[in-house]
Structure 1
Amino acid sequence: MDQVTLARALFGSSMAFHIIFATLGVGVPLMIAAAETLFQIKKDKDYETMAKRWTKGFAVLLGVAIPSGTIVGTMLTLLWPGFMEIVGQVIALPFQIEIFAFFLEALFMSIYVYAADRLSPGMRILSVTLVALGASASAVLITDAQAWMNTPQGFRYDNGVVTDVHPWQAFFNPSFFVTAGHVLVSAYMTGAFAIASIGAYQLLRGRHSERVFAYHRKGLFLGLAIGGIMSLLTALNGHETAQMLHKHQPEKLAASEGLFHTTAYAPLVVFGTPDPEVGEVVGGIKLPWMLSFLATNRFDGVVKGLYDYPREDWPPLYVHTLFNLMVGIGTLLIGYALLAVLYRYIRKRPFPRWLLLLFLTGGPLAMIGIETGWIFSCSARQPWTIYHIQRTSEAAIKSGNLGMLFVLFLSIYAVLLVLTVLVLTFYFRRHPVSAVLDKTT
C-alpha cells in the first residue's frame, strides 16, 4: 500500500469511528428536546423518563465523541501537512467559532442534567434546546471545512503561496448551506431511527409489563415520526445537492451516476457497475430523463459526462455503488415511517412482529447510510483534497512508518467501542426503565 493510500486509510478509519458518535451526538439531543417538550405539553411522565434516560446515554456517547474528535484533529495535522498549511490561512474561522458552540452545548447540558428538577418548564425546554442547538452548530461548523474543500473560494493560490484571503467568503462557500443542511437532517434522522430501533428491540423481547410496553411504544413511534420527517427532508436536500454538484463538481455527479457521455435527457441509473470501456453502467436500471431533471430542473437539461475530463481527474467509479447504497437506505427509511403511519392511524392496529423486526434494522441502516455518505463525499472528490487546487498526493505526509500507527489507532478504536457498549449495557441493566416507571406511578 503506497503512502497516500495508507494515510487515507488511517484517516478514513478514524473518521468512520468518530462519525458514529458525532452523528448520534447531533441526533439524540433533538430527540431529548422533543421528549422534554412533549412532557411539558402533555404532562405524560413517560416522556420525562425518556428525556432523562436518553440524556444519560448521550453523556456516554459524548464522552467518546470528544476524544475521538481530538484524534481526528491530530491526524489532520499529522497526515495532511500540505493541506493544513492552506487550511490554517484560509478556513480556520469555523474551527474557532466551533469552540463557542461546544461551550454552549456543555454548559446547558450540565444545567439540564443537574438542575432540571429546579427549573421552570420553559427553562427546562430552553436548556435542552440549547444543548441541541450547540451540538447542531458544532456539526455545521466542522462540515463547513468539508464544504470548502469541495467548493473552495476566498483566497488565491499561486505557486504554492496563499494570498488575498477573505475568511468570510471562504466560510460561506457555494456548497456550505446545502452540505450543512444535509449533514443536519441526516444526523437527526439517524438519531431518531436509533431511538426507534431500541424501542422495537424492547417490544420484541416481550418480557415487560403493560406499563413498560406503553413506554416503549411511545418511544418507538416518536423515533419513527421524527425519523420519517427527517428522511423526507434528506431526500429533498438530495435534489439541491445534485444541482450543486452539476454546477460546481460535475465530475463528482457524473461518477456517482456512471455517466460517461455528455447527455441531454440524461437517465438516472440505479444499481449496475460503471464500465469505462463500454461507456455506460452495465446491469443498471435506467430511469429516463431523471438525472437531467435532478441536476437542472429540466428533462432536456445537459449533464456533463466523464469523457469530458482527463482520465487522471476521474473520481473512483465505485462511488456509484456508494451513492446507490446511500439513496437506497434513505428511501427504505421513508418507507418504514410510512408503514408506521399506516398501522397507527389508518389500520389502527398494533405493530405486528414482522414490522417491529423491520423497525429494529432502522438504526443500523441509518448509520450505514451515514458511513457510506461520508465515504462517498470524500472519495468522489478524489484525486483532489482541495478541489482543483491541491491533489491528495500533494497534501499527504511524506515520511513513512504509518503502518504501526494504523494498527495502534485501530486497536484504540476497538477498545473504545467495546468499553462504550459495556458501559451503556451495565448502566441501563442496573437502572431498568421498569424501576423508574414504578416510582412515577
Structure 2
Amino acid sequence: MDHLLNARLLFGFTMAFHVVFAVLGVGIPLMILIAEIIYQKTNDRDYDIMAKRWTKTFAILLGVGIPTGTIASVQLSILWPTFMEAVGKVISLPFQIEIYAFFLESIFMTIYVYAADRISAPLRILSLSLVTIGAILSAVLITNVHAWQETPSGFDYVNGEFINVNPWKAFFNPIFFTTASHVVSSAFMVGAFMTVTVAAYKMLRKDITEREYKFHQKALMVALLIGGISGVITALNGHDSAVKLHIYQPEKLAAAEGLFETTSNAPLAVGGIVDPKTQQVKWALQIPSLLSILATGKPSGVVRGLNEFPKDEWPPLVTHILFDAMVGIGALLIFLAVLGWTLKLRKKENHFPKWLIWGYVFSGPLAIAGIELGWSFSEIGRQPWTIYRVMKTSEAVTTSGNMGLFFFIFLGLYVSLTVITLLVIWYYFKRHPLKKDLEKLN
C-alpha cells in the first residue's frame, strides 16, 4: 500500500476512534449539569440519580479518552513531522492553553464525584458548570488547530519558511468562531442522543417496572430537548459554514455539491453520485438556486465550480456523499426530537409507541455516525492540502516505514479498548442497578 495512504489511514482511524470519546466528553457533562439544575429546582430525586449515574459513565469514558488523545498527539509528531514543525512555529498556542482547560475539567469533576453529597447545591452546580466549561474549552482549543489548517493565517510563508508569525492572528483565524460553535453544538447533540439511546433501550426491556419506565422517560425527554435544540443550532451553524467555504475554500464547496462549472442560481444537489466523466450528479434532487442562497445570501449569487481549479487540487468527490449523509442524519435526529416532544405535549403520552422507541435506540449511533461523517468531510475535503494552499499532505508525511504494521497494532489496541470500556460500563451498572437507587427513595 502507498506510504502516504498508510499514514493517512493510521491517523484517520486513530482520530475516528478518539473523536467518539472527545464529543461524549463534551456532551455528557452538559447532560449531567442539566439534570443537577432540574433536581435543585424541583427537588425531584430522579434527576439527582440521573446526574450521578451519568457521572459514572462520564468518568469511565474520560479514563479511556485521555490515553486515546495521547496516542493521537504522539502520532501527529511521528506521522506528520513537517506539519508539527509548522504547528510549533505558528499555532502552538491552543495546545498550551488546552492543558489548563483539561485541569479545570478534571479537578472539578473530581470534586463532584467524591464530594457531591457534602457540598451545597450552588457549589454542586458551580462544579459541574466548570467541568462543562473545561470540556468545551478543550474541544474548541484542539479543533482550532484544524480551523487554522483550513484558513491558515498569522504568518508569511517565504521560500518554505514561516516568518512574521503572529500567534494571536493564527489563533483567531477566519473560521475560528464558526468551527468552535459547530464543534460544541454537535458534541452536545451527540451526548444528548447517546443518552436517548440508553434510556430508550431500557424502556424496551420486558421486565421493566412502571417506576423505572417513568424514570427513563424523564431522562429521554430531557435528552430529546437538549438534542433537538443542539441539532437546530448545529444546522444554523452549518449555513454559516457554507458561507465560509464559499469565501475561503470554494473548491471544497464545489466538490461537496458536485458543481463543476461556475454558475449563478446554482442548485443544491441532494443525494446522488458525482460522475466526473459527465461532470454531473446522477440521480440527485436538484433544488434551484438554493446553493447560491446558502453560499452568497441571494439566488443570483455566483458559486465557483471545480473546473476553475487545477484538477490535481480537487478534493476527492466522495465528499458529496459524506456531506449529504451528515446533513441527512442531522435532519432525522431533529425530526425525532420534535416528534417526541410533540407527542408528549399534545397527547400527554405516558408510553411512546414501540416503533418510535426503537427509532430512539438507533438515534445515538446515528449521531456518532454523523459526527464521524462530518469530521471525515472536513478532513478529506481539504485534500490534497494539510495546511490549505501552504503545505500538501504528501509534504508533511514522515519518511519512516512500517506504517502497515503500526496500523494493525493500533487496530488491535482500539478494538481491545472498545471491548474493555463496554464491559466496564456494563459490569458497573449491573452491580449498581437503577432499581436499588430508586428503592432508596422510598
TM-score for the superposition, normalised by structure 1: 0.99
User: SS at 2:382's partner residue?
Assistant: coil
Residue range with higher mean Cα deviation, 142-151 or 202-211: 202-211
Q: Cα deviations across residues 305-342 of structure 1 (Å, max 9, x unaligned)?
A: 00000000000000100001100000000110111111
Q: Which amino acid aligns with 2:393?
A: T
User: What is the deviation of 1:213?
Assistant: 1.1
> Are 2:380 and 1:376 equivalent residues in the alignment?
no
Structure-1 residue corresponding to 2:366:
365
Which ranges of structure 1 fall in alignment gaps of 5 or more residues? none
Structure-1 residue corresponding to 2:156:
156
Cα distance in 1 between the residues matched to 2:220 and 2:135 = 23
Structure-2 residue corresponding to 1:49:
49
Q: 5 Å matches for 1:133-282?
A: 133-282=133-282
User: SS at 1:397's partner residue?
Assistant: coil
Cα distance in 2 between the residues matched to 1:279 and 1:411 = 41
Structure-1 residue corresponding to 2:80:
80
Aligned residues: 441
Structure-2 residue corresponding to 1:344:
344
Q: Which amino acid aligns with 1:51?
A: A
Q: Which amino acid aligns with 1:366?
A: A
Structure-1 residue corresponding to 2:417:
416
Q: Which amino acid aligns with 1:227?
A: G
User: What is the deviation of 1:282?
Assistant: 1.1
Cα distance in 1 between the residues matched to 2:404 and 2:61 = 28
Cα distance in 2 between the residues matched to 1:98 and 1:85 = 19
Q: 5 Å matches for 1:3-82?
A: 3-82=3-82
Q: Cα deviations across residues 2-45 of structure 1 (Å, max 9, x unaligned)?
A: 11111000000000100011110000000000000000001000
Cα distance in 2 between the residues matched to 1:183 and 1:160 = 32
> Are 2:404 and 1:403 equivalent residues in the alignment?
yes
Cα distance in 2 between the residues matched to 1:60 and 1:23 = 14
Structure-2 residue corresponding to 1:435:
436
Q: Cα deviations across residues 147-192 of structure 1 (Å, max 9, x unaligned)?
A: 0000000011111111100000000000111011111000000000
RMSD: 0.7
User: What is the deviation of 1:430?
Assistant: 0.6
Structure-1 residue corresponding to 2:427:
426
Cα distance in 1 between the residues matched to 2:71 and 2:243 = 34
Residue range with higher mean Cα deviation, 319-328 or 272-281: 272-281
Cα distance in 2 between the residues matched to 1:17 and 1:439 = 38
Cα distance in 2 between the residues matched to 1:221 and 1:109 = 25
Structure-2 residue corresponding to 1:294:
294
User: What is the deviation of 1:259?
Assistant: 0.5
Cα distance in 2 between the residues matched to 1:142 and 1:434 = 40
User: SS at 2:440's partner residue?
Assistant: helix
Cα distance in 2 between the residues matched to 1:199 and 1:207 = 15
Structure-2 residue corresponding to 1:114:
114
TM-score for the superposition, normalised by structure 2: 0.99
Q: 5 Å matches for 1:99-110?
A: 99-110=99-110
User: What is the deviation of 1:398?
Assistant: 1.1
Q: Cα deviations across residues 238-271 of structure 1 (Å, max 9, x unaligned)?
A: 1000000000000110000111010100000011
User: SS at 1:266's partner residue?
Assistant: coil
Cα distance in 2 between the residues matched to 1:245 and 1:209 = 51
Give identity over the alignment, percent: 55
Cα distance in 1 between the residues matched to 2:179 and 2:263 = 26
Structure-2 residue corresponding to 1:392:
393
Cα distance in 2 between the residues matched to 1:244 and 1:291 = 13
Cα distance in 2 between the residues matched to 1:43 and 1:210 = 21
Q: Which amino acid aligns with 2:410?
A: F
Cα distance in 1 between the residues matched to 2:404 and 2:333 = 38
Q: Cα deviations across residues 219-242 of structure 1 (Å, max 9, x unaligned)?
A: 011111100000011110010000
Q: Cα deviations across residues 184-206 of structure 1 (Å, max 9, x unaligned)?
A: 00000000000011110010113
Cα distance in 2 between the residues matched to 1:44 and 1:169 = 48
User: SS at 1:419's partner residue?
Assistant: helix
Cα distance in 1 between the residues matched to 2:123 and 2:357 = 36
Cα distance in 1 between the residues matched to 2:208 and 2:9 = 45
Cα distance in 1 between the residues matched to 2:179 and 2:150 = 10
Q: Cα deviations across residues 73-102 of structure 1 (Å, max 9, x unaligned)?
A: 000000001101101000000000000000
User: SS at 1:400's partner residue?
Assistant: coil
